[in-house]
């Protein structure tokens, strides 16, 4: 009801008219059928211009009536002289309209500033893209936004660049949301990007890192899938590319990379959640990152963030043979996980993908590792199955806060072990 | 042949998930849900002609009160070859679980006194919210899904209850409560989201029974 009122008020406001000053809304309870009839008569008196928000139907059930200021006295006299009981529900309708307009504008305004963005709730793709712009506006000398390509459905693929200068500095790549149903990851990405921007100049570790290295952060890595989880199917994982000759849509973007591509750790069935696609890098979302990292030439780490299972993983997923740097990656994972598990219940396991979770072919981190990016890790964030993909939004800030020290450990290690 | 297994590696963690699901089925109710908190030691024994037997030391937690944990030892035997036989699971809990008679009875009375049969959808919703009055409905599904998971698990699967798509209470004239659930199971290895229908019978003194369950087809457009 209030929504209709506000809409009407806004329509009126566009004509610069204040329609409801001094108007009141009365709650009227007719005690018998005769009183119901009298109230209907009231409605028929055109010059009174009363407006029933809730019509009188049966005795004992309340009716709500907006009465213009000019008719107030006449209506009240009518009700009282007929013994019809009423109370004043809204003392001044215009005041209420003004308050609501203010609240709506305030909420829109506050969302436009990063200091009041609600990190504890899940957001739509438009809200996230808008927030990215405000982050850049708030930290213009540190953060910029670049576009590395377009999704299958032509959505822009945006990457936030954190840089204090230099030319083609060694870089760390972070991505979240490659599997669109893993909503905690995009949410953690937003918080973390904000944290990086705020912590520069305050936190010694991140300051040291950004003084020598750049960070590239793709938060909505699979925008088509993400939009689909909002509009149609919350459990959608893959891209939204059409598969020729199949009624099933989408390719698993974490099986589409050219590392062990097409093996048994992925599916050749387009209807499958782990469908690898017709060929490696067939997906625009994947190709864009491949081209970016290859073109950059100085990326030292790829950290791809997923959920759920609470794990910190490193190559390989496509073969059982340990990666040449297995020991170093394992030690680093062990340290990062110990800084993550500061509170019980946040216990993470760690190890290579193929040992810890399953065989997976064509993954992001395996491709990165095989292309010279030594520090390639996959996070699987909260939880371990109780909510799974449907993690309550109240857990976004604790998840991001607790993951931060682990991310820092990895980034500091990279800074201290240049290669 | 018997060997120790690293608890962080998937063979042990899949067996542990199955054991936890089974315990939840056997001990769960409208007032109690149990989840796997941690896996301690794990071992596997390959028995010729029979199958693979896992020995597990688990820590389970009460989902309603995460401070409350209980230690559990379990044995899971996956039968060789025949995929139609559910794994054998045996377990022992160390110590007592919190008594839920009161919470169970409150929920039972509440549902029994409803004028219209309960109907609900999307628990949790997209944002992970569960209305407090739906929590017992969810815990019953959690326990019942433990049965479905147990019956359908192999060494190559790891199931979790992802969501209740719909629940409809079935009218009964006897003392039992009956619910028809359409749930989504997430199977970790294939990453599939599998719709599953199950009929669940419950009474505070009689535990959870799944009288009928069937896997549902997934639509290609989903």
Instruction: Give CA separation, B133 vs B25, B112, B138, in Å.
Output: 21, 14, 10
Nearest to B128 among A248, A272, A387 (CB): A387
Q: Quick one: which H or E segment has residue B111?
A: helix B101-112
* A201 in Cβ contact with A208 (< 8 Å): no
B172 lies in the same domain as B70: no
B120 lies in the same domain as B198: yes
Q: What is the DSSP letter of B97?
A: P
From B64, B94, B124, give the residue that closes a domain: B94
User: Residue B76 sits in which domain range?
Assistant: 3-94
Residue B220 lies in a domain: no
Residue A111 clears pLDDT 60, i.e. is over it? no
Quick one: pLDDT band at residue A253, thresholds 50, 70, 90?
Answer: very high
Cβ-defined contact of B128 to A356 (cutoff 8 Å): no
* A237 in Cβ contact with A273 (< 8 Å): yes
Tell me how far apart the alpha carbons of residues A382 and A388 are, in angstroms, rounded to a whole number. Answer: 7
B104 lies in the same domain as B211: yes
Quick one: pLDDT band at residue A363, thresholds 50, 70, 90?
Answer: very high
Nearest to A274 among B37, B190, B218 (CB): B190
The pLDDT of residue A362 is 98
Q: What is the DSSP letter of B29?
A: B
- CB-CB neighbors (< 8 A) of A234 in chain B: 126, 163
- CB-CB neighbors (< 8 A) of A391 in chain B: 128
User: Residues in chain A whose beta carbon is closer than 8 A to a beta carbon of chain B?
Assistant: 121-122, 229-230, 233-237, 246-249, 252, 267, 271-274, 309, 345, 347, 349-351, 355-358, 384-395
Q: What is the DSSP letter of B206?
A: T
* B126, B135, B217: best to mutate for the A interface, most A CBs within 10 A: B126
Chain pair A-B, CB pairs under 8 angstroms: 92
Residue B221 lies in a domain: no
**Closest approach of B140 to chain A, Cα-based (Å):** 14
Residue B127 lies in a domain: yes
Residue B20: CATH number of its domain: 3.10.450.10
Per-residue model confidence as pLDDT tens digits over B139-165: 999 999 999 999 999 999 999 999 999
Tell me how far apart the alpha carbons of residues A162 and A145 are, in angstroms, rounded to a whole number. Answer: 9
Tell me how far apart the alpha carbons of residues A274 and A265 are, in angstroms, rounded to a whole number. Answer: 8
* B213 in Cβ contact with B151 (< 8 Å): yes
Strand partners, A242: A249
**Helix, strand or coil for residue B85?**
coil
Quick one: pLDDT band at residue A62, thresholds 50, 70, 90?
Answer: confident
B104 lies in the same domain as B74: no
Residues of A designated catalytic: 380
- CB-CB neighbors (< 8 A) of A389 in chain B: 162, 186
Residue A20 clears pLDDT 90, i.e. is over it? no
Residue A387 clears pLDDT 70, i.e. is over it? yes
Cβ-defined contact of A392 to B10 (cutoff 8 Å): no
Residue B52 lies in a domain: yes
Cβ-defined contact of B9 to A355 (cutoff 8 Å): yes
B152 lies in the same domain as B78: no
How large is the average pLDDT for residues A61-81? Answer: 86
Residue A400 clears pLDDT 80, i.e. is over it? yes
From B69, B94, B119, give the residue that closes a domain: B94
Residue B178 lies in a domain: yes
B111 lies in the same domain as B42: no
The pLDDT of residue A48 is 86
Residue A89 clears pLDDT 90, i.e. is over it? no
B125 lies in the same domain as B175: yes
B104 lies in the same domain as B210: yes
Nearest to B8 among A248, A345, A351 (CB): A351
Cβ-defined contact of B127 to A122 (cutoff 8 Å): yes
Spell out the alpha helix ranges (H) of B9-100.
Answer: 10-27
Residue B140 lies in a domain: yes
User: Residues in chain B whose beta carbon is closer than 8 A to a beta carbon of chain A?
Assistant: 6-10, 13, 17, 35-38, 61, 63, 66, 124-129, 160-163, 184, 186, 188-193, 218, 220-222
Within 13 Å, how many C-alpha atoms sit on residue A240's CB side? 23
Instruction: Give CA separation, B64 vs A191, B136, B202, in Å.
Output: 28, 10, 19
The pLDDT of residue A157 is 98
Tell me how far apart the alpha carbons of residues A212 and A101 are, in angstroms, rounded to a whole number. Answer: 48
B113 lies in the same domain as B200: yes
Nearest to B129 among A272, A384, A392 (CB): A392
- Give the tokens for residue B217: 């087809």
The pLDDT of residue A220 is 98
The pLDDT of residue A9 is 53
How large is the average pLDDT for residues A260-276? Answer: 97
The answer, yes or no, to whether the previous bond of B124 is cis (omega within 30 of 0) is yes
Residue B222 lies in a domain: no
Quick one: pLDDT band at residue B66, thresholds 50, 70, 90?
Answer: confident
Tell me how far apart the alpha carbons of residues A315 and B188 are, in angstroms, rounded to a whole number. Answer: 19
From B54, B79, B94, give the residue that closes a domain: B94
- CB-CB neighbors (< 8 A) of B17 in chain A: 385
**Helix, strand or coil for residue B32?**
strand
**Count of the separate structural domains present in chain B:** 2
3-state SS of chain A is CHHHHHHHHHHHHHCCCCCCCCCEEEEEECCCHHHHHHHHHHHHCHHHCCEEEECCCCCCCEEEEEECHHHHHHHHHHHHHCCCEEEEEECCHHHHHHHHHHHHHHHHHHHCCHHHCCCCCCCCHHHHHHHHHHHHHHCCCCEEEEEEEECCCCCEEEEEEECCCCCCCCEEEEEECCCCCCHHHHHHHHHHHHHHHHHCCCCHHHHHHHHHCEEEEECCCCHHHHHHHHHCCCCCCCCCCECCCCCCECCCCCCCCCCCCCCCCCECCCCCCCECCCCCCCCHHHHHHHHHHHHHCCEEEEEEEEECCCEEEECCCCCCCCCCCHHHHHHHHHHHHHHHCCCCCCCCEEEEHHHHCCCCCCCHHHHHHHCCCCEEEEEEECCCCCCHHHCCHHHHHHHHHHHHHHHHHHHHHHHHCCC
B62 lies in the same domain as B113: no
Domains observed in chain A: 24-91 (3.30.70.340), 122-416 (3.40.630.10)
- CB-CB neighbors (< 8 A) of B61 in chain A: 345
Residue B196 clears pLDDT 70, i.e. is over it? yes
**Mean pLDDT rounded to a whole number for chain B:** 95
**Closest approach of B192 to chain A, Cα-based (Å):** 6
How large is the average pLDDT for residues A336-354? Answer: 85
Residue B141 lies in a domain: yes
Instruction: Give CA separation, A392 vs A214, A251, B111, in Å.
Output: 32, 27, 26
Is the complex ipTM higher than 0.85?
Answer: yes
Quick one: pLDDT band at residue A90, thresholds 50, 70, 90?
Answer: confident
B59 lies in the same domain as B152: no
B116 lies in the same domain as B70: no
**Closest approach of B183 to chain A, Cα-based (Å):** 13
The pLDDT of residue A23 is 86
**Closest approach of B56 to chain A, Cα-based (Å):** 17
How large is the average pLDDT for residues B40-57? Answer: 96
Instruction: Give CA separation, B66 vs A63, A230, A337, B123, in Å.
Output: 49, 31, 21, 20
* B6, B8, B33, B138: best to mutate for the A interface, most A CBs within 10 A: B8
Residue of B nearest to A230 (CA): B126
């Amino acid at each position: 009801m209030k929504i209709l009122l506000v809409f009407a008020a806004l329509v009126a406001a566009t004509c610069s008219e204040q329609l409801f000053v001094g108007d009141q809304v009365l709650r009227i309870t007719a005690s018998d059928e005769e009183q119901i009839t009298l109230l209907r008569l009231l409605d028929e008196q055109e010059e009174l211009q009363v407006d029933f928000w809730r019509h009188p139907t049966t005795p004992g059930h309340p009716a709500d009536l907006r009465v213009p200021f000019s008719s107030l006295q006449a209506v009240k006299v009518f009700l009282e002289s007929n013994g019809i009981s009423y109370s004043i529900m809204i003392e001044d309708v215009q005041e209420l309209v003004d308050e609501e307009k203010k609240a709506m504008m305030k909420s829109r305004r506050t969302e436009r500033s990063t200091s009041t963005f609600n990190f504890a709730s899940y957001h739509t793709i438009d809200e996230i893209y808008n927030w990215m712009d405000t982050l850049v506006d708030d930290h213009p000398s540190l953060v910029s936004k670049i576009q590395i390509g377009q999704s299958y459905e032509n959505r822009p693929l945006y990457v936030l660049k954190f840089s204090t200068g230099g030319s083609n500095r060694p870089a760390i790549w972070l991505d979240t949301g490659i599997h669109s149903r893993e909503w905690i990851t995009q949410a953690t990405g937003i918080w973390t990007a904000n944290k990086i921007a705020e912590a520069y100049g305050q936190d010694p570790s991140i300051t040291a890192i950004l003084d020598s290295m750049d960070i590239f952060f793709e938060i909505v890595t699979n925008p088509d899938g993400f939009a689909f989880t909002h509009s149609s199917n919350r459990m959608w994982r893959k891209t939204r590319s059409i598969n020729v000759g199949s009624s099933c849509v989408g390719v698993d973007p974490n099986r589409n990379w050219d590392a062990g591509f097409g093996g048994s750790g992925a599916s050749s069935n387009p209807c499958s959640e782990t469908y690898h696609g017709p060929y490696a890098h067939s997906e625009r979302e994947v190709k864009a990152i491949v081209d970016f990292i290859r073109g950059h030439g100085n990326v030292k780490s790829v950290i791809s963030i997923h959920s759920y299972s609470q794990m910190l993983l490193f190559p390989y997923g496509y073969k059982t043979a340990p990666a040449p740097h297995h020991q170093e990656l394992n030690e680093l994972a062990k340290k990062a996980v110990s800084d993550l598990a500061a509170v019980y219940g946040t216990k993470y396991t760690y190890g290579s993908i193929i040992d810890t979770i399953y065989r997976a072919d064509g993954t992001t981190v395996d491709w990165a590792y095989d292309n010279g990016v030594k520090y390639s890790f996959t996070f699987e964030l909260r939880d371990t199955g109780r909510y799974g993909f449907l993690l309550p939004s109240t857990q976004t800030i604790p998840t991001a806060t607790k993951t931060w020290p682990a991310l820092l450990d990895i980034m500091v290690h990279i800074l201290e072990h240049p290669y | 042949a018997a060997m120790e297994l690293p608890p962080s590696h998937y063979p042990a963690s899949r067996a542990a998930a199955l054991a936890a699901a089974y315990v939840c089925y056997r001990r769960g109710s409208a007032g109690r849900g149990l989840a796997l908190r941690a896996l301690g030691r794990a071992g596997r024994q390959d028995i010729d002609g029979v199958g693979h037997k896992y020995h597990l030391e688990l820590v389970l937690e009460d989902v309603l009160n995460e401070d409350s944990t209980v230690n559990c030892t379990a044995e899971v035997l996956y039968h060789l070859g025949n995929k139609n036989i559910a794994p054998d699971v045996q377990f022992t809990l160390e110590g007592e679980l919190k008594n839920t008679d009161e919470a169970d009875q409150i929920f039972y009375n509440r549902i029994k006194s409803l004028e219209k049969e309960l109907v609900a959808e999307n628990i949790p919703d997209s944002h992970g919210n569960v209305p407090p009055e739906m929590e017992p409905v969810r815990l019953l599904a959690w326990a019942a899904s433990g049965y479905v998971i147990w019956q359908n698990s192999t060494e190559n699967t790891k199931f979790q209850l992802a969501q209740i798509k719909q629940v409809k209470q079935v009218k009964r004239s006897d003392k039992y409560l009956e619910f028809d659930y359409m749930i989504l199971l997430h199977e970790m290895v294939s990453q599939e989201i599998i719709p599953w229908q199950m009929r669940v019978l419950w009474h505070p003194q009689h535990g959870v029974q799944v009288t009928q369950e069937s896997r549902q087809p997934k639509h290609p457009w989903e």
